[in-house]
Chains A and B, each alone.
Chain A
């Protein structure tokens, strides 16, 4: 079964450094998402992306965050100047296009990248 893949699985970065988290969504999916989950807490929506642009973002997704789909397969999340509170698990998800019932399918999640800011 196709999977969403994320790299790296664990990223350790010094505070103030830039970090890029990478995701390869499922190939025929058109909607892409980033979420974060601070240890033991809820899954928080960051941003959704469709047709090469952001369709919605949360208040967490401030100017330090950006997303990109640089080619036909990768979907990246960049944090420009990391802070201690950015330490979390970051999940990428994707969903099929809205064709009939496919639009109601659940989002498929990757295994996540654990980001540790020192």
Chain B
């Protein structure tokens, strides 16, 4: 069974600081997704990573994928309060269209 592990589960950081969220998964995959969820809201797609070494950037967020290590990272640069949310990684196993989510990382950015 595919297992997806995120850490940390809770992250409190100061504005302007950098940090990385990690997502490990247990089986071969060629698709990894990052989603953002604001409290009480739906899930918003942030990044789709499709190959080993893929790197995507949007504003202060950058996601990368290492399929050999079965690891994806979401790096936050110079955090701002608007980035406060829960971030989920989700993995689609090879040759399967379904997704399994990590437990989520609840990020709080403090002034």
Contacts and interface: CB of A to CB of B under 8 A. Distances in A.
Contacts of B99: 33, 45, 107
A111 B44 CA distance: 10
A110 B101 contact: no
B85 to A, nearest CB: 13
B48 interface: yes
Interface string A77-100: 000000000000001000100100
Contacts of B97: 31, 48, 50, 55, 95, 98, 103
B25 interface: no
Interface of B: 31, 33, 35, 41-45, 48, 50, 88, 90, 96-104
Interface of A: 31, 33, 35, 41-45, 48, 50, 55-56, 91, 95, 98, 103-112
